[in-house]
């Protein structure tokens, strides 16, 4: 198995170095979401946090440019929708993380 930078075996890369299991990809994406949410929680606490939140709320809305309300979304629309959902999930996680922070920004979660 491939080694991590601190010489531990990386279970997410079992087998070929370029092929990850669905579970490993999901785990990595969830870890990235968690890190982004913690960073975002800190940024939202600072001056300009409201502007940042407003901008994220704007980009998390999928634009519907379809003439036919019964049309089935295809490639680009599916990707855009997934991006909007993920941005909303990151913002929700950031808001939750804010509620577990001390006034100085340190996490109170155990």
Predicted local confidence at residue 108, as pLDDT: 62
Within a 10 A sphere around the Cβ of 95, how many other Cβ atoms? 14
Residue with the two structure tokens 């629309």: 77
What are the C-alpha distances in Å from 74 to residues 49, 66, 80, 83?
35, 11, 10, 14
Buried b (16+ CB within 10 A) or exposed e, 46-78: eeeeeeebeebeeebeeeeeeeeeeeeeeeebe
Q: Reduce the DSSP state of residue 101 to 3 states and report it.
A: strand
Tens digit of pLDDT for each residue in 4-22?
Answer: 555 555 565 554 457 899 9
pLDDT at position 71 over 90: no
- 65/56 Cα distance (integer angstroms): 20
Residue spans of the domains in the chain: they are 11-63+73-99
Predicted local confidence at residue 26, as pLDDT: 94
Predicted local confidence at residue 109, as pLDDT: 56
Average confidence (pLDDT) over 48-71: 80
Quote the crossing angle between the two packed helices 22-45 and 49-59, to the nearest 10°. Answer: 140
Phi, psi dihedrals of residue 10, rounded to the nearest 5°? -95, 105
Average confidence (pLDDT) over 78-95: 92
Predicted local confidence at residue 17, as pLDDT: 57
Residue 79: both structure tokens together: 């990707």
| Residue 94 confidence class, pLDDT cut points 50, 70, 90 | very high
């Amino acid at each position: 198995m491939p080694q991590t930078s601190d010489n531990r075996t990386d279970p997410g890369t079992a087998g070929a170095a370029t092929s990850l299991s669905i579970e490993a990809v999901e785990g990595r994406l969830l870890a990235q979401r968690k890190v982004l949410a913690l960073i975002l929680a800190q940024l939202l606490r600072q001056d300009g946090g409201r502007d940042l939140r407003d901008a994220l709320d704007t980009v998390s809305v999928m634009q519907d440019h379809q003439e036919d309300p019964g049309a089935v979304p295809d490639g680009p629309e599916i990707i855009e929708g997934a991006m909007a959902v993920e941005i909303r999930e990151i913002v929700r996680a950031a808001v939750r993380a804010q509620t577990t922070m001390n006034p100085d920004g340190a996490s109170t979660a155990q």
